[in-house]
Amino acid sequence: MSTIRTYEDATQLANGAAEHIVSLAREAIAQRGRFSIALSGGTTPKLLYARLAEVDIASQVDWSHVYVFWGDERAVPPDHADSNYRMACEQLLNHVFVPEHNVYRMSGEEVPLAAASEYEELLRTFFSSDTPEGAPPLARFDLILLGLGMDGHTASLFPGSPLLVENERWVKADHVDKLNMWRLSLTAVAINQARNVMFLVSGKDKAARLRQVLYGLYKPNLVPAQLIRPQQGRLFFMIDKDAAGEL
């Protein structure tokens, strides 16, 4: 079951998403003493991250209890123009007081397969405290942010990727042939264990694909975003009117 919230434009979408994230963060910190968020890359979240950094919003969150992760990363160094980590720092993390040791970036500069294994171990350690004694750990992120590519990908889960059928690992590396680029990504297994998953979708060019994700035949190999169905979590589609144009 998913919740769709439609906003007038990209700016209102960023504002609405920011307000919702503040409420999720305050709830998580009050209940469990921490808020774990996995950030998305791409361009759509930029407005959201900048909005979260604005004092009237940022002042509502105790950032010292926020733990920052990424849903995916390009296999590039952290200072590279394509780095999702760099974009998040420029738009948000350089402007709020998240302790450095609470920021867990994917090592895009390392050998992808090794970086994926390293991140998986890091996540399993981080979430082990969330899991009852003896139970298998769950990637219980409080929130995972996702975008939607025009080809139906999300995070770095691309059509036809072997990652789409991964049913154990939480983090994998994949060479995305059409981009000629290695990517690191959470798998759907991990994403679907989150407490909250929030898609951010903006623009007319996403409208047809969004309709397919929400109402089309279930073809996850072609439309990987359809894999995202949190087992014990809430799924939100935060969209603007342009993206909602074919719903």
| Binding-site ranges for ligand 6PG (CB under 6 A) | 40-44, 72, 84, 147-149, 153-155
Nearer to ligand 6PG, 16 or 147 (CB): 147
Q: Between 147 and 233, whose beta carbon lies closer to ligand 6PG?
A: 147
CA trace torsion 44, 46, 47, 48 (10° rounding): 90
Which residue is at the shortest CB distance from ligand 6PG?
A: 147
Q: Residue 88 and residue 86: Cα distance in Å, rounded?
A: 5
Smallest distance from ligand 6PG to CB 42, Å: 3
Phi, psi of 86, deg, nearest 5: -60, -45
- Closest CB 44 distance from ligand 6PG, rounded Å: 3
Task: Quote the least distance from Cβ 55 to ligand 6PG, whole Å.
Answer: 25
Residue 122: burial class (beta carbons within 10 Å; 0-12, 13-18, 19+): middle
Q: Which is nearer to ligand 6PG, 17 or 155 (CB)?
A: 155
Token pair, residue 231, equals 């087992």
Select 29 or 144, whichever has its Cβ closest to ligand 6PG. Answer: 144
Dihedrals phi, psi of 74, to nearest 5 degrees:
-80, 150
Write down the least CB distance from residue 149 to ligand 6PG, Å: 4
132 Cβ contact list (under 8 Å, min separation 6): none
Q: Which is nearer to ligand 6PG, 30 or 247 (CB)?
A: 247
First to last CA, the chain: 16
Helix (H, G, I), strand (E, B) or coil at 68: strand
| Distance of closest approach, residue 81 Cβ to ligand 6PG, in angstroms | 13
Comparing CB distances to ligand 6PG, the nearer of 29 and 85 is 85
How far apart are CB 74 and ligand 6PG at their closest, in Å? 6
